[in-house]
Amino acid sequence: MQLFIDSADVAELRAAAASGLIDGVTTNPSLIAKSGRKMKEAIAEICAIIPGPVSAEAVATDVEGMLAEGRYLARIAPNVVVKLPLTENGLRACRTLSDEGIRVNVTLCFSAVQALLAAKAGAYFISPFIGRLDDKGVDGMELIREIRCIYDNYEYQTNILSASIRSVDHVRLAALAGSDCATLPPKIFAALYKHELTDSGVEAFLKDWASTGQSIL
């Protein structure tokens, strides 16, 4: 499963990229606003840090506005993926942009039939929001399983990008459910390394090694 970072903070992204484990980035208008940067400037810098897909979101709500913004965003860098909402206008714009060779991430997906429509519209990514469904008392991971089944049944090439990840367990379950990608807040990515038995094991090994008085070099 590919791992993306959900952030527009350049320092956070540089630190994550240094791990060699990050495959892409997702941003949204809220993250761009939080960064305090001009959108074009921020996306261009992020695309230079992370060579994989970088999602940049249009904010227009009408088809023509989405198309204009989507084309503009796609020109910033070759690894930009245009992010559009899962609305009727968003899917109409997705169909046009996809036909033009521009990759589209259809976001704010909350049902399997929405994901079916996105695949038919040519979406490159579909972003189901797991955590927000969980907040409503709905099993968000069941949505990932349903989308995986539908896409496999009909050989749709749209990639499932699990979003609204709230925990390390969400990452585990998304991988088990067959999600192609997951986009994580930096703190969740950092937590993937952690396990108390790993920490205690390292501590024990180092203590035993120190007792030998040896040096490897």
Give catalytic residues, as residue numbers: 83
- As a whole number of angstroms, the distance between CA 140 and CA 178 comes to 14
- As a whole number of angstroms, the distance between CA 173 and CA 142 comes to 10
99 within 8 A of 124, measured Cβ to Cβ: no
Q: What is the DSSP string of 89-135?
A: HHHHHHHHHHHTT--EEEEEE-SHHHHHHHHHTT-SEEEEBHHHHHH
Q: Are strands 54-57 and 159-162 parallel, antiparallel or unpaired?
A: unpaired
- As a whole number of angstroms, the distance between CA 31 and CA 7 comes to 6
